[in-house]
Amino acid sequence: MAQLYARLAPWLVSLAELVLLVPALMLVLSRASHRQPNHGRRLQQFFGDLARRRKLSVALVGALVLATRAVLIPILGIPQPRYNDEFSYLLAGDTFAHGRLTNPPHPMWVHFESFHIIQRPTYMSMYAPAEGIVLAVGERLGHPWIGQMMVTALMCSVLCWMLQAWLPPGWALLGGILAVFRLGVLSYWMNTYWSGSVIALGGSLVVGALPRLKRHAHVGDAGLMALGLIILANSRPYEGLIFGLPAAGAMLIWFFGKNRPPAKLAVGRVVLPLVLVLSLAAVATGYYYYRVTGSPFRMAYQVNRSAYAMAPYFLWQTPRPEPQNQRIEGAPRGRTAGGFGPEAFKCNKCGQQRIGLENPTFDEVCVKCGADLHTCGNCRFFDTTTTWECRENIPARIANKHARNECAFFQPKMVKDLAHDKARQPQTPDDARKAFDALFKK
């Protein structure tokens, strides 16, 4: 399947573009020579009539994507995920399809760490949720790729709609048809589980709504621009911000320029709808990240980078220290693997074992070194990779992790008393033989 697609796709794209280019050149040359044949005039008239029916053109572009790719399923099949990013997006899609915003961390999460996901404070994709929502719709309809196919067809339709705002109808339709074959059928936007089509959909909505707002100032166009910005913010936040700044600048120039609209019209039909829709979306996005990372202002992408990455993205940032692997409480490691000693609570500073397993009192100190015991460092929820270094939703950050505090979430960090287990291990070859025979004693 992969080899067939790799050989077939580039040639089909080139042939499709050639099929479209040859008639276009024939029409241009025939018009220039004033000897346009009857069939050429009919074709041009049919294409022009279709292009002038704008809504029909937009619908046909999307239908062409769906029909063409559906016909190719016996040849190309349904794509299988191959890259780490795709599996991350599919995790988000499966989570949303089951009615959840995120997943609880696995008790043995340290053994399941992988690329482009976060394990704590919750188990989820590190990417923004837009592509996951698309794949969730597809999964509910039968297969995640159905969502990818639908959003790619919608992207091509919206691209045609966007071109209609900037170009004559014929050129807009031709651009939509070119997008069908270049992007909508055989590209990786259609045949993988990446978010390319979602991002292009958001960008096309913004660019297509801009000139329409300047011409008519309809509330519906303001809503479509807001929807495009929402899609960009929830698919590629940084690129969406960079993309949205020129659009915002163009809107400001229109509001305060020579041909500015009446203030009442601009505020009532453009500004208020944009602000209202974007505000609601900001609250929804913040709530999503609150459920995933514990903070509405901290994206899952940031959690992943802080846990696993060292190199920053921007020049003004400094490299982070090398990530330290966090060991789950009581998990065996190295030569201590296989220990089955009793649980014990030991001082985080000196390692002195405390008598008793009940929670230490607020003012209790270590009998050996005198350090406070009711501290973040001695708590089982202490985790430097999470928000405020705690896996619980504490109301405020505790600055000193080794000073006593009155946190209501405190629970002592229990570890295995491997020294106790070591005393029980065989010390001589005869002891080892006796222990081995005891395992199979009837």
What secondary structure does DSSP assign to 116-142, as a single string? TEE-SSSBEESS-SHHHHHHHHHHHHT
- What token pair was written down for 17? 């573009």
- Quote the CA–CA distance of 196 and 239 in Å, as a whole number: 12
- Quote the CA–CA distance of 268 and 274 in Å, as a whole number: 10
CA count, 13 A, side-chain hemisphere, 237: 13
Chain segment 354-378, per-residue pLDDT in tens:
766 567 777 888 888 888 888 888 8
Rounded to 5 degrees, φ, ψ at 147 are: -65, -40
Question: 340, 418 in Cβ contact below 8 A?
Answer: no
Question: 93, 144 in Cβ contact below 8 A?
Answer: yes
Predicted pLDDT of residue 430? 66
At a CB cut-off of 8 Å and minimum separation 6, what does 33 contact? none
* Rounded alpha-carbon distances, angstroms, from residue 409 to 112, 184, 359, 379, 395: 27, 52, 11, 9, 11
- Quote the CA–CA distance of 288 and 1 in Å, as a whole number: 38
- Ranges of residues in the chain whose predicted pLDDT is under 70: 1-40, 322-342, 355-358, 416-442
Rounded to 5 degrees, φ, ψ at 76 are: -95, -20
Q: Which residues pair with 52 in a beta bridge?
A: none
Predicted pLDDT of residue 14? 63
Instruction: Tell me which amino acid residue 204 is.
Output: S
Predicted pLDDT of residue 339? 46
- Quote the CA–CA distance of 97 and 133 in Å, as a whole number: 8
Question: 154, 135 in Cβ contact below 8 A?
Answer: no
- In the three-class reduction of DSSP (H, G, I as helix; E, B as strand; rest coil), residue 406 is classed as coil
Question: 268, 319 in Cβ contact below 8 A?
Answer: no
- What token pair was written down for 4? 């067939």
- Quote the CA–CA distance of 93 and 128 in Å, as a whole number: 11
At a CB cut-off of 8 Å and minimum separation 6, what does 148 contact? 79, 134, 135, 138, 190, 192, 193, 197
HEC letters along 261-288: CCHHHHHHHHHHHHHHHHHHHHHHHHHH
